[in-house]
Amino acid sequence: MPLPAPRSVRLTGRLLLTLVAVATLVLVFIALIALTDGAGSGLAAWSTTLGAGAVLAMWRGRRRTGPSRLLPFLPVVVAAALTATVCVPNVPTARRHPPALPFVATQHWSLATGSRVAVYHYPPANSGTRHPVPFVYLNGGPVRGISVLDHRFLQLLARQGYDVYAYEQAGGGRSDLLPMGQYAISRSVRDLAAFIDRLDKGQVDVLGFSSGGVVLTRALADPSVAARMHRAIVAEPGPMDGPTARITGHKGKESARGLAPAVTGPRSTHVPRYAVAFGLMRLGLLTPDTGLIGQAEGDNAFTAADLGSDTASAYCARDAHRIPAEDTAQNFSFSPAASLRVQRTVKDAPSLAPLLRRSRTPTMLMIAECSSQVRQWATAVLADDPAIQRTQLLPGVGHRMWNGLDDNDDRAAAVITAFLQDEPAPLPNHPTRDEIPTFLRDHE
């Protein structure tokens, strides 16, 4: 038998009030998480919210008798249960490094800066031509492990006679973590100099990709670091300083963002604890060294699927339905808090242009046709670095220029090899410094 209308309305009203009370307590909890910077794994915010809710429930039930006095506590109990999930770790809180790769040995080098980094060496595999200058690769991230796709590309360069070294920057991949306050773009530059010194093979050629290109650009502006380099290749760089980071502009041709199938797999952002932590960090409401989750726990929790459409944005629209797996689940490693910290030190950095204009290291700039990077990030480097000898705009590729599709790896390697050997470029030198205004105006 249906309930009488007045009683049904009263029950509906009470249910809505209960839901509003629960939602209010949850919002208060999240606000307190931000205000306390997640102190005590969120327990400070949780206990304060619970205490305030209990006091309010007692006040509301003060005139009730019998079991009805407990009803105001129902929203408090529900909210306490929901918010408690934000305070309980779902993964180990001690760092879990990826297992060893089956195709290359992992070395660990202690640098003079105090960083202990994972190092990979691919000696020249070509019995014919061998290039005497060591080749060093700086991967993107900023604090991320080197992907399997990158390793395959480095193997290709080794087969062409290069003595290839790569290291995962402090906190990334199999490298040791740093105290959160030590992550900075300046530390990354000092680590590069210390790595070259530790290698102890004289000057080196350096390829910096994406955020690795930012490290390399800033190294070129430091004469003491630049003196250690023979040639430099800046590929698809991010913003090099605060003024550049604030530039808004167009990107390359259409990428696969929004066109590619959704990335599958577990996501930490589907877990309340990490959805709150990473979400508030991204909004700037939690510091990278928040007390809510430790650096190691955040690294352990973050998955490749959490990058979402970022992966698709690194490919051209035409490749949307054939994007390769960039990495394995076992090898994938990304440190969201440390990466955010490094990015903020770039945004806070003053203009690099006056120092970069003194650069004398022969340099090449690589840009992708379907780049997801703001074009002015690359053209700012081109405009301010007088030592850039050529620019290569690679057609048919996105931000991830070497990706295993078609002959993309071979084409990228040909561009790199031609520059390092001071041979004619396989592509036109475009854009040149004088062509920057036209390049930007035509939205190339």
Burial 333-346 (b: 16+ CB within 10 A, else e): bbbbbbbbbbbbbb
Q: Is the pLDDT of residue 304 over 70?
A: yes
How far apart, in Å, are the Cα atoms of 340 and each of 33, 138, 333, 336, 359? 19, 18, 15, 6, 28
Apex CA 26: angle with CA 21 and CA 32, to 5°?
125
From 28, 53, 84, give the residue that closes a domain: 84
Same domain, 238 and 332: yes
pLDDT confidence of residue 6: 66
pLDDT confidence of residue 105: 97
Domain presence at residue 383: yes
Judging by beta carbons within 10 Å of its beta carbon (0-12, 13-18, 19+), is residue 441 exposed, middle or buried?
exposed
Amino acid at 444: E
Domain presence at residue 278: no
Pair 240, 212: CB distance under 8 Å: no
Q: Report the residue count for the chain.
A: 444
Task: Using a cut of 0.85, tell me whether the model's pTM lies above it.
Answer: yes
From 36, 53, 84, give the residue that closes a domain: 84
Mean pLDDT of all residues in 389-394 = 98
Judging by beta carbons within 10 Å of its beta carbon (0-12, 13-18, 19+), is residue 39 exposed, middle or buried?
middle
The residue range of the domain holding 18 is: 5-84
Assigned token pair, 319:
């490749």
Which candidate, 340, 342, 333, places its Cα nearest to that of 287? 340
Same domain, 318 and 191: yes
**Pairing mode, strands 135-138 and 204-209:** parallel
Domain presence at residue 298: no
pLDDT confidence of residue 374: 95
Mean pLDDT of all residues in 417-431 = 97
Same domain, 51 and 154: no
Pair 119, 106: CB distance under 8 Å: yes
**Pairing mode, strands 363-370 and 388-398:** parallel
* pLDDT band of 263, cuts 50, 70, 90: confident
Same domain, 327 and 425: yes
109: helix, coil or strand? strand
Same domain, 421 and 317: yes
Domain presence at residue 293: no
32: helix, coil or strand? helix
In this predicted model, what pLDDT tens digit does every residue of 192-249 receive, in sequence order? 999 999 999 999 999 999 999 999 999 999 999 999 999 999 999 999 999 999 998 8
Strand partners, 339: none
Same domain, 119 and 216: yes
- Rounded to the nearest integer, the mean pLDDT of the chain is 92
Same domain, 228 and 116: yes
Same domain, 58 and 141: no
Same domain, 30 and 114: no
pLDDT confidence of residue 3: 45
Same domain, 322 and 401: yes
Domain presence at residue 367: yes
pLDDT confidence of residue 388: 98
What is the domain count for the chain?
2
Which candidate, 403, 421, 364, places its Cα nearest to that of 162? 421
Compute the distance between CA of residue 293 and CA of residue 278 in angstroms, rounded to an integer: 9
Domain presence at residue 424: yes
Same domain, 38 and 135: no
Domain presence at residue 274: no
Task: Give percent of the chain with pLDDT exceeding 90.
Answer: 80
Pair 121, 68: CB distance under 8 Å: no
Same domain, 29 and 157: no
Q: Is the pLDDT of residue 11 over 80?
A: no
Domain presence at residue 272: no
In this predicted model, what pLDDT tens digit does every residue of 96-135 receive, in sequence order? 999 999 999 999 999 999 999 999 999 998 767 889 999 9
Mean pLDDT of all residues in 361-384 = 96
CATH number at residue 432: 3.40.50.1820
From 52, 84, 116, give the residue that closes a domain: 84
